[in-house]
Amino acid sequence: MKNKLYKALDLFSRSIGLILFIALWEAAPRLGWVPGIYLAPPSRVFYALWLMAGRGELTRHALISLQRVILGLVVSSVTGVLLGLFIGYFKPVDRILDLLFQAFRQMSAFALFPVFILLFGLGELSKIIIIFWASLWPVLLNTSAGVKNADPVLINSAKSMGASKLFIFIKIILPSAAPEIFTGIRLGGSYCVMAVVAAEMIGASSGLGYLVLYSEETFNVPEMYAGIIGLAILGIGLNWILQSAEKFFTSWKEV
C-alpha cells in the first residue's frame, strides 16, 4: 500500500510542470492574453484529436510517419553501428575520417533537403534519406567513441591470457560500447522525429508533418496543434521503446 502511494505521489510530483503548462495554455487564449486564432486552448485541441481519431485520420497519418521514422532509423542504426565499430577499432581509419565525419555532422539535414530533392526527387526516397542523414551521425560517432573508450586494462588482461582479437572484440569491446551505442540510437530516434516533420512538409500528401502544415494553411488551428501533439506522442513512444531495448541489452550494468 505504501509503495503504491509513493508511486502515485512520485507520478504527481513529476506531472506538476505539465499540469501547470496545460492550465496556462488553456487560460491564455480564453482570457485574451493570446489571440485564439494563433493559439487554440487544449480543450479544443484534445476535442479535435478525439474527432480525428474517430475518423481514423490521425491514425493514418501517424502510421505513415511512424513507418518513415522506423525505416530511416533502422537503416541509419545498422549503417552507423557497423561504420562506428570499424572506425573506432581501427585507429588509423579514425584519424583519416574523423574530421570529415565531424564536418558532415554539422551539415543540417534541413539545409541539405534541396540537394536530396534534386538528386532523388520529391518521392518517398528523399524523405527516407533526410531522416537517415539526420539520425546517422549520432549513432556513428557515439558507437566509435564507445569502442575507443573500452577499458584498456581489461583488453590488456585478456591479451596477456592469450585471448584472440575476435574474442576481445566480442566479449570486451562490444559490451563496453553498448551503452554509448544505444545512447546514439536514442539520439538518432529523436532526430528522426524532427526530420520527418520537415520531410513531410515538402512534397507530401500524408504524415503528421503534412497534417500540421495543411491545418496551418487552412487556418484549422486546433487540428494543427493536434498534429503537433501527435508528433510529441510519437517521439515519446519511440524513445520509450528504445530506452526499454537499451535496458534489456545492457542489463548487466544494473548488476
pLDDT surpasses 90 at 75: yes
**Quick one: pLDDT at residue 255?**
47
Could you tell me if 192 and 235 are in contact, meaning their C-beta atoms sit under 8 angstroms apart? no
| More confident of the two residues 176 and 5 | 176
Tell me the CB-side half-sphere exposure of residue 159, using CA atoms within 13 A: 9
Average the pLDDT over 116-126 and give the result.
83
Domain with CATH 1.10.3720.10 in the chain: 40-254
pLDDT surpasses 50 at 78: yes
Could you tell me if 113 and 132 are in contact, meaning their C-beta atoms sit under 8 angstroms apart? no
**Quick one: pLDDT at residue 15?**
80
**Quick one: pLDDT at residue 80?**
93
Give percent of the chain above pLDDT 90.
Answer: 24
Q: Does the CA dihedral 147-148-154-156 come out positive or negative?
A: positive
Burial 213-248 (b: 16+ CB within 10 A, else e): bbbeeeebbbbbbbbbbbbeebbeebeeebeeebee
pTM: 0.84
- The DSSP 8-state label assigned to residue 254 in this structure reads G
Average the pLDDT over 215-238 and give the result.
90
Could you tell me if 29 and 36 are in contact, meaning their C-beta atoms sit under 8 angstroms apart? yes
**Quick one: pLDDT at residue 138?**
92
**Quick one: pLDDT at residue 181?**
92
64, 91, 104, 133, 174 from 107: Cα distances, Å: 26, 24, 5, 9, 29
Average the pLDDT over 2-8 and give the result.
68
Assigned superfamily of 40-254: MetI-like (1.10.3720.10)
pLDDT surpasses 70 at 88: yes
